[in-house]
Chain A
């Protein structure tokens, strides 16, 4: 079965610094989602990547899916306190209606003022 591994598990960065979170799949990804969860709240959709080499940006957050479609990275530029939370990657192994999205265990991001 497909597994998603996120690294690092937690991250503490100074406000204003850049950071990167990785999501690695054991199988080829046909669609990868990045979500943010504020502690104790529901998920907020950040972006979806489908094509190898695809890169998308949302405000100061950029995510990329590598050419082999087995790894995605999420990069935050000039981090702010509002970026703190848990970042989850989710993916489908195959594109069919019977498949389901699976999630990594999340990366906890803390921003120091």
Chain B
């Protein structure tokens, strides 16, 4: 089956530093990748959608300059949290899809827990 990996699985960083999270599709080409954020006891919130080779589309309220997304290849997307603050602490989950329409499955990564101290 389709596998999506995330690295790191958890990270602790100091306030003001930047953190990069990688999302890789291991056995398929991901035309589209999604980045989600999940706060405790809440649903996933879509942050941005990225198509390979294009600029990411950010959801309303998500700061583009703070959450930098790069989808440089069909198997790798990265999310960089710049100048992280404690309020950025959260569970970040990526998903990848081989297609661009709703008929394609989304395969989720295991998530990355970010803690900013």
Contact = CB atoms under 8 A, between A and B. Distances in A.
Is the A/B pair a real complex? yes
Interface of A: 30-31, 33, 35, 40-45, 48, 50, 88, 90, 92, 94-97, 99-106
Interface stretch (B13-21, B61-69, B78-86, B109-117): B109-117
**Which of B44, B91, B102 has most A Cβ within 10 Å?**
B102
A30 B101 CA distance: 11
B111 A41 contact: yes
B108 A43 contact: yes
A45 B107 contact: yes
Given A88-B44, A106-B43, A97 B110 contact: no
Q: Chain B: interface residue count, which band?
A: 20 to 34
Contacts of A30: 102
Contacts of B113: 40
B102 A92 contact: yes
Interface of B: 6, 34, 42-44, 46, 49, 59, 91, 93, 95, 100-103, 105-111, 113
Contact of A45 (B43, B49, B93, B106): B106
Is the contact region of chain A dominated by helix, strand, or loop, or is it mixed? loop
Nearest to A99: B102
A105 B93 contact: no
Contacts of B46: 100-102
B111 A48 contact: no
A42 B111 contact: yes
Contacts of B59: 100
A96 B59 CA distance: 16
